[in-house]
Amino acid sequence: MSFDTVKSNAEIFCRFATLPGLDENEDILWDGVLDEDAMIDLVCALTGVSSIDDLTPEMQQVMAISERIERHIDFCEFTSWYCNRAFLEYVNLTKDQLEVREIGHRLGLTPAEIDHYKALYDKYDTDGSGGIDLDEFRELMHICMRCPKTMRIPETRIMHFWAECDADSSGIVDLREFITFYKKYFDVEAEDPEEDFYRGVRDTSKVLRDL
């Protein structure tokens, strides 16, 4: 283990460890310990949450060391624990980044893929509000369908696709809705959105004729 690694671990340990108070010459690295409460505070700090309850079940696996000890963790035990987990997603990413990765996991996307879609999402969220509204969606459609600046997509078509994209009718397209919609129509080998629209019109016309 490199000196820099040990030094980094020591800095984290010293922030949360306490001394037993049995000897006036105690040293925090040699004698200091982490109790359960200190470990919870440490994990919350590492993962950027305010409470252990904010961690997902996957993230709470970071507390697995508590199953192997009775009460306290010394510096050597902490170093071993931390080095085995220091590169896990839920230790290195912020809370917002973890939420994005969780969406990616649910959609079966790799970290690289979800990062790609998040970058696209942020690009079309032009006001930086964290969601895509109807006006932003309207521009998204014109860009993705490569419409010339002198042409506009009929509003009926915009609303057709908006209703599909905003699946929960909240008035805002979230990241998961955006990815589902974008993959369907604008990824490689995706459906042609124009063909989908006219197919829907044809199906509706057929239903009306059969009534």
Distance CA 130, CA 87 (A): 27
Burial class (CB in 10 A: 0-12, 13-18, 19+), 146: exposed
Confidence of residue 118 (pLDDT cuts 50, 70, 90): very high
Per-residue pLDDT tens over the stretch 60-116: 666 665 455 456 889 998 888 887 776 566 666 777 887 888 898 889 888 889 999
Q: pLDDT (tens digit, 9 = 90+) per residue, 5-59?
A: 788 889 999 999 999 888 888 999 999 999 888 888 888 887 777 887 777 666 6
